[in-house]
Amino acid sequence: MDQDATPELVARVRAATAAGTPLRIVGGDSKHFYGRPVAGELLSLGGTVAAGLAGPARMWAGPLRDFVLGARVLTGDGRVLRFGGEVMKNVAGYDVARLMAGSLGILGVLLDVSLKVLPQPAGERTLAFDVNEATALARLAELARGALPMTASAWCDGRLFLRFEGSPATLDVVAQRLGGEALEDAPAFWTSLREQTHPFFSGSASLWRCNLPPLASPLALGDPPLIEWNGQQRWYRCTDGTTAYAAAAASGGHATRFRGGTTGSDVFTPLPGPLLQLHRALKREFDPAGILNPGRMYADL
């Protein structure tokens, strides 16, 4: 963010606080469907980090929050606060900068963010196998315990896709060991999963993202899912939110209505009392007047 724009943003937030006017915090607004609907005056920046979403490499590279080194944040009462730094270092106390990843704008407006970056791999190769869901989950669990450089995995429409990254010699060894069919135009396939543009994600039914233990049994939520993250992230299309929450919880995980909700419907798994109180306390500290994306995550947050 241009430092010269900060005073203007501070003035807008302070005016909104004084008037009790809600602000709808967005980045490019490409994930407007994610979370509960918010009505308010548009204020744009920092959406990628605020959404906190991770792509197919999540299990190999880590979540987005692990790449956040520091952030400059505009709070709901007009304070500009800086947390963390611009280089890797040990963090003493609560790491507030990483708290902003996935907060969906309810805690503050992200003015600047410092991110850790990694070099591109020397090469990559995706192998495809025709297997059913149970076999795919067992294969993923086995590979996760090994030392092969598997950086992404997915099962969809009866096929298991495994992406490996490394030197050409390493990739040849992997292919010889595992077999399978080399996937043509693999980058486009993985991008379609990251951006939810793969045909699986189309349709009018609500799209549910379930985070589960890797060996959890298939959930009875309608059609077969799309599975990622070595089996820990599973996408389902179904209309019954109560069933999705309960099924995921019974398997030791949680469910999120990623797309297809209606006004007033829950999106995230209901929080237990103590955790909900903690969320409310953080919201009051960063946004005392409750003007930043009110209700985006939960009715009173």
Cβ-based neighbours of 208, under 8 Å, separated by 6 or more: 221, 235, 236, 237, 238, 244, 255, 256, 257, 258
Query: Residue 84: its pLDDT value, please?
Result: 86
The pLDDT tens digits along the chain (301 residues) read: 666 889 999 999 999 999 999 999 999 888 888 999 899 999 988 889 999 999 999 999 999 999 999 999 999 999 999 998 776 655 555 688 999 999 999 999 999 999 999 899 999 999 999 999 999 999 999 999 989 999 999 999 999 999 999 999 999 999 999 999 999 999 999 999 999 999 999 888 889 999 999 888 888 888 899 999 999 999 998 877 778 899 999 999 999 999 887 667 789 988 899 999 999 999 999 999 999 999 999 988 8
Query: Residue 91: its pLDDT value, please?
Result: 55
Query: Residue 265: its pLDDT value, please?
Result: 75
Query: Residue 179: its pLDDT value, please?
Result: 97
**What span, in angstroms and rounded, lies between the C-alpha atoms of 233 and 229?**
6
**What span, in angstroms and rounded, lies between the C-alpha atoms of 162 and 141?**
13
- pTM for this one? 0.89
Query: Residue 215: its pLDDT value, please?
Result: 82
Beta strands in the chain (DSSP E): 23-26, 41-44, 68-74, 80-84, 109-115, 124-130, 150-156, 159-165, 181-182, 207-211, 226-228, 233-237, 254-259
Give the number of residues written for the chain: 301
Query: Residue 206: its pLDDT value, please?
Result: 86
Query: Residue 151: its pLDDT value, please?
Result: 96
Cβ-based neighbours of 139, under 8 Å, separated by 6 or more: 129, 131, 160
Domains in the chain, please, with CATH?
A: 3-117+270-286 (3.30.465.10), 124-259 (no CATH)
